[in-house]
Copies of this chain bind each other. A is one copy, B any other.
Amino acid sequence: MSQRTAFQQHFAHSRPTSTSTAELDALAAAAATAAPVWRAADAATRASWLRAAADALDAHIDELVAIADEETRLGETRLRGEVGRTSGQLRLFAAVVEEGSYLELTIDDADPSATPPRPELRRTLTGVGPVAVFAASNFPFAFSVAGGDTASALAAGNPVIVKAHSGHPRLSERTAAIVASALVEAGAPEGSLGLVVGREAGNALVQHPTIQAAGFTGSLGGGRALFDLANGRPDPIPFYGELGSVNPVVITAAAVAARGEALAQGLVGSFTLGVGQFCTKPGVVFVPAGAGFEDLVAGFATGSAGGPLLTDRITEAFPSGIAHLEADPSVTALARGLPAADGAARPVVLTTDAAAVAARPTALLEECFGPVTLLVRYSTPAELVAALEAVPGSLTGTLHSETGDDVDAVLAVLERKVGRVLFAGWPTGVAVTWSQHHGGPWPATTSLHTSVGATAIRRFLRPVVFQDAPAHLLPAVLRDEALATLPHRRNGVLRLP
């Protein structure tokens, strides 16, 4: 079977099936053929391909949202917004490619008088090669087939093969078909975007010799298994996983006194948003004992609504996760939200105390997907810091304090434990911008890089330096005429075009 035929046949399936080894090999061969074309494409060309993908998503929004709502029950409003986020990500990366700083162009001129004589060196970043992307359940667009991992991998100059999430198989297939067609119509090579289905195919994908890096958003268990496969290869590859986060929040007594009601309302809004299925859900909230904050939270939580969860697995895991927490002798249920329909999740607020968290962090600080949060009462700053030290690496940490609070010790722990520190608002909601960092110490992410925002592109690039190269053999971006139009460092000095 020719590569082209396998590729076409794959997308011709009207129903997703498990991808065979032969089909994966064909997709990988097509990606390997496409890789040098993506790497060599100049900025304007690569940006135009990314924008073509964005335009295609927007053009098919009605059809895609309808499929997504059937498969995920996330609702049209949320899903339409997510399509906009997804096409916006593709366009941000088009801008990143055009701006050019991401190449980290660095030139050192020759210095024959140095000891030893220094050669000319010209460094750029270049695509690592075909990338595997493992789609998430909770963002069927923005962290899925054409989501941020895919956008940043393509922007870096790499073809992508996506492992579809089983929670939205038809949407995955349709999105891949639309985006792959749009890319080819815009002039990108066949093999720019492939899709595999099934757990076995995913495992084979991350171990495939053609694949040079992988992005993943999902559970700690699933992510760890793939991380181990990626690192267990004869030639290990970087595995960029986002695996789980409890997103600690610290509220001071002064903050409760100044704006307790607003904070309680905000917290309930945040932990129930999207039925508590955001990776940045505030899962553990340190509250001052005796300040009355629990009552305020209970008041708002009682009126809060849950809803259906994304998948059967999450639906089953939610009550058992709560039961696991409630089995700890220190834990009591503070409030429950409005009764939910059969099979849907009802919001729950649990409470415990800081001493229990410090003593039994593994039992009390495991991420529980769904509308549940754990209030942790603290009485002294020392108790607070000790409990906070027990919190695993997280994507976010939030501090609600007032001027005059001594928060140095708390901030020192948060800065070490999380990737984003918030001083207002709530962690749900992740702006897609140049500065965003969506990552954190293990298990929040498996690397020192972000999966959201402009710098996510760095994950899929590797440096290469050219020593004493004749101008005509240099990559175009490293020639003098290109340097005149691109940010670069020359002999240690950063220069703007």
A434–B107 Cα gap in the complex (Å)?
8
For chain A, give the interface size range.
35 or more
**What distance in Å separates the Cβ of A156 from its nearest Cβ neighbour in chain B?**
11
A116 in contact (CB, < 8 A): yes
A166 in contact (CB, < 8 A): no
CB-CB < 8 A to A418: which residues of B? 464
Per-position contact with B for A190-226: 1 when CB-CB < 8 Å, else 0?
Answer: 0000000000000000000000100000000000000
CB-CB < 8 A to A420: which residues of B? 464-467
The answer on a CB contact under 8 Å between B407 and A107 is no
CB-CB < 8 A to A465: which residues of B? 419-421, 435-437
A343 in contact (CB, < 8 A): no
Contacts A95-B492, A227-B231, A421-B464 known; list 5 others, CB within 8 Å: A107-B435, A108-B433, A108-B436, A424-B467, A448-B461
**What distance in Å separates the Cβ of A227 from its nearest Cβ neighbour in chain B?**
7
The answer on a CB contact under 8 Å between A434 and B492 is yes
Interchain residue pairs with CB less than 8 A apart (28): A108-B435, A108-B436, A119-B425, A119-B431, A121-B436, A212-B441, A227-B236, A228-B231, A235-B441, A235-B442, A403-B470, A407-B473, A411-B473, A415-B464, A415-B475, A418-B464, A419-B462, A419-B463, A420-B464, A421-B465, A423-B467, A423-B468, A423-B473, A434-B489, A437-B463, A437-B464, A448-B461, A494-B496
A441–B461 Cα gap in the complex (Å)?
12
**What distance in Å separates the Cβ of A410 from its nearest Cβ neighbour in chain B?**
10
A159 in contact (CB, < 8 A): no
CB-CB < 8 A to A461: which residues of B? 448
A126 in contact (CB, < 8 A): yes
Contact of A463 among B446, B455, B466 (CB under 8 A): B455
A419–B123 Cα gap in the complex (Å)?
10
Per-position contact with B for A403-441: 1 when CB-CB < 8 Å, else 0?
Answer: 100010001100110111111110001010111110101
The answer on a CB contact under 8 Å between B99 and A421 is no
The answer on a CB contact under 8 Å between A467 and B425 is yes
Per-position contact with B for A452-466: 1 when CB-CB < 8 Å, else 0?
Answer: 001100000111111
A489–B487 Cα gap in the complex (Å)?
12
A276 in contact (CB, < 8 A): no
A422–B467 Cα gap in the complex (Å)?
5
Residue of chain B at shortest CB distance from A106: B435
A28 in contact (CB, < 8 A): no
The answer on a CB contact under 8 Å between B236 and A469 is no
A463–B403 Cα gap in the complex (Å)?
26
A393 in contact with B466 given A119-B431, A121-B433, A494-B487 (CB within 8 Å): no
Q: Which 7 A-B pairs have the closest CB atoms?
A: A106-B435, A424-B468, A437-B465, A123-B435, A235-B442, A437-B463, A121-B435
Residue of chain B at shortest CB distance from A411: B473
**What distance in Å separates the Cβ of A29 from its nearest Cβ neighbour in chain B?**
14
**What distance in Å separates the Cβ of A117 from its nearest Cβ neighbour in chain B?**
9
The answer on a CB contact under 8 Å between B448 and A128 is yes
The answer on a CB contact under 8 Å between A431 and B121 is yes
A20 in contact (CB, < 8 A): no
A434–B446 Cα gap in the complex (Å)?
28
CB-CB < 8 A to A441: which residues of B? 212, 235, 462
A439–B411 Cα gap in the complex (Å)?
36
The answer on a CB contact under 8 Å between A433 and B118 is yes
The answer on a CB contact under 8 Å between A494 and B435 is no
A280–B475 Cα gap in the complex (Å)?
23
Residue of chain B at shortest CB distance from A105: B435
Per-position contact with B for A308-349: 1 when CB-CB < 8 Å, else 0?
Answer: 000000000000000000000000000000000000000000
The answer on a CB contact under 8 Å between B119 and A470 is no
A104 in contact (CB, < 8 A): yes
Which residues of chain A from 111 to 137 have a CB within 8 Å of any chain B CB? Answer: 116, 118-119, 121-123, 126, 128-129
A446–B411 Cα gap in the complex (Å)?
33
**What distance in Å separates the Cβ of A392 from its nearest Cβ neighbour in chain B?**
8
The answer on a CB contact under 8 Å between A421 and B101 is no
